A and B are shown apart, each in its own frame.
Chain A
Amino acid sequence: MTIDTEIFNNEEKISFALRALYRERGFKPYRMRRFEEYELYMKNKDFLLSPEVISFTDTNGKLMALKPDVTLSIVRAYRPASGGVQKLYYDENVYRVSERTGGFREIRQAGVECLGFRDEACIRDVLSLALESLARISGEYRLCVSQLDVVEALLDALALSDDARAEALRCMGEKNVHELRALCESAGADAAGAEKLCRLTLCSGAPADAARELAALGCPEEAVKAVERLTKDLSPERVSLDFSILGDMRYYNAIAFRGYVRGVPSSVLTGGCYDRLLARMGKPGRAVGFACCLDRLERLEEVGENA
């Protein structure tokens, strides 16, 4: 049977291309249930992009939820005792409140999760796979990478209150240095340390150049070296460091990243390391993964060559 691929829409074409790519790279498919116990999401509410979850009572009286996220389910199902690194890919619908339209929406995501590794090479492979995923989505793409240990170190040095720290992270996420500077001043934080944080917020560009700036800012040497190691084989025209990319540091650590393609106004790929989520769920080892938001690609004019 032959199928005319012209009948597929962007979402379908890219979904097939990504699944083929992940399979080719040795990732195994992960199929999950549409429902999960509500408790899983409530225990990890801050991990979710939107805290609202569609819930209902099952026939046995158990409170269930339509899954708003895939990573939590994969981590819960992960059995370290089964041995070795687990490399999974998925193509699933999630149900969450849309940032754009408000109200619940069914959103299709394809992505990978790599769990239980100890070697940094896994992170490098996942970053490289993120770049390849973007190439399948569009001919014009960029991957922006942040190093959360660097952000954490500079923030810790300022010894801000929890509220002020949350505000500082918001300002960093908006590249809003005028408010970040004012916030640090009103919190009585060390002026030199505050200036470093502002420079970090604006620090973006090719990894090698940005790493030099990080070293000049006196960021922890090991974190700077880790950035260089992780990005050295990635195309500097396609990859840049960007410290406005953050994640909830109770779950995320080390690397966080976002992918953009020309013609789509928001990120189409988000990912990072979530060793702390694994630890919170009582599982050893490290974890990294990313998700591509296929619903954002509906109006993309041209998809990548291999899609």
Chain B
Amino acid sequence: MLNIALPKGRLGEKVYAMFERAGFECPAIHEENRKLYFENEALGLRYFWVKPSDVAIYVARGAADIGVAGKDILLEYRPDVYELLDLRVGRCRMCVAGPRDFRDDPGRTLRVATKFSNIASGYYASIGRDIDVIGLNGSIELAPILGLSDVIVDIVETGTTLKENNLAVLETIVPISARLISNKASYVFYKARIEELVRAISREVET
């Protein structure tokens, strides 16, 4: 049985539709109930929905053989997994954003509010800028408005929230999209099955 962890929510539904079109369907997933996992015994598949930020943990620890995780999570936590495919859905950007008229003062430590401390630290280390990371768990956009930080590092999809709060993208750090990942040991033991799945799903990826 191949265990597949998908992210709960709209992205997960879109991704499951790709799996279904590729021939890895599991009709039970469409039933209205409160089940947390769904099996197609004939195809040897078991799907389960998990919090998007947890998919990589399930896969790295082998509870799931494969899964779909955002590149933001993979960059932030660096799980020891294989990244087999860019599914090109859930596309957005990891950006530095701040007040529209923001000018960086190199004489002061830059205060950066973010949910992605490792990505922010790595990015600023790569350009040699000293920063003070302020770790937040939500409503990141509020930080520069209230003077808690100078800028934020966060995911930007359409930019509407930024615009409505008089903020703007200052730099794009990296493009983000959903990635198909695999546990390394599972890849060894289910190689043929996982490779078959990767080939089939890659045909469903938008070009």
Q: Which residues of A contact B (CB under 8 A)?
A: 99-100, 140, 142, 144, 174-176, 178-179, 204, 240, 242, 244, 260, 262, 264-267
Contacts and interface: CB of A to CB of B under 8 A. Distances in A.
24 contacts: A99-B80, A142-B189, A144-B188, A174-B81, A174-B82, A175-B83, A175-B84, A175-B187, A176-B82, A176-B83, A176-B84, A179-B86, A204-B191, A240-B188, A260-B184, A262-B185, A262-B189, A264-B185, A265-B61, A265-B184, A266-B80, A266-B184, A266-B185, A267-B185
B144 interface: no
Nearest to B61: A265
A144 B183 CA distance: 15
A175 B85 CA distance: 9
Given A176-B84, A179-B83, A266-B184, 20 more contacts: A99-B80, A100-B61, A140-B189, A142-B188, A142-B189, A174-B81, A175-B83, A175-B187, A176-B82, A178-B85, A178-B86, A179-B86, A240-B188, A242-B188, A260-B185, A260-B188, A260-B189, A265-B60, A265-B183, A265-B185
A240 B187 CA distance: 12
Interface residues of B, number: 18
Contacts of B85: 178
Interface in B46-90: 60-62, 80-86
Nearest to B187: A175
Contacts of B83: 174-176, 179
Contacts of A178: 85-86
B92 to A, nearest CB: 17
Contacts of A144: 188
Nearest to A99: B80
Interface string B81-112: 11111100000000000000000000000000
A-B pairs, 9 with minimum CB distance: A265-B62, A176-B83, A175-B82, A178-B86, A174-B83, A260-B185, A260-B188, A142-B188, A265-B185
Interface string B171-200: 000000000000111111101000000000
A280 B61 CA distance: 36
Contacts of B186: 265
A49 to B, nearest CB: 11
A240 B183 CA distance: 17
A34 to B, nearest CB: 28
B77 to A, nearest CB: 11
A262 B188 CA distance: 9
Contacts of A260: 184-185, 188-189
B189 A267 contact: no
A284 to B, nearest CB: 35
Contacts of B189: 140, 142, 260, 262
A100 B184 CA distance: 14
Contacts of A262: 185, 189
Contacts of B86: 178-179
A101 to B, nearest CB: 11
A265 B57 CA distance: 11
A205 to B, nearest CB: 8
A93 to B, nearest CB: 22
A142 B91 CA distance: 37
A134 to B, nearest CB: 12
Contacts of B187: 175
Contacts of A174: 81-83
A242 B189 CA distance: 13
A239 to B, nearest CB: 11
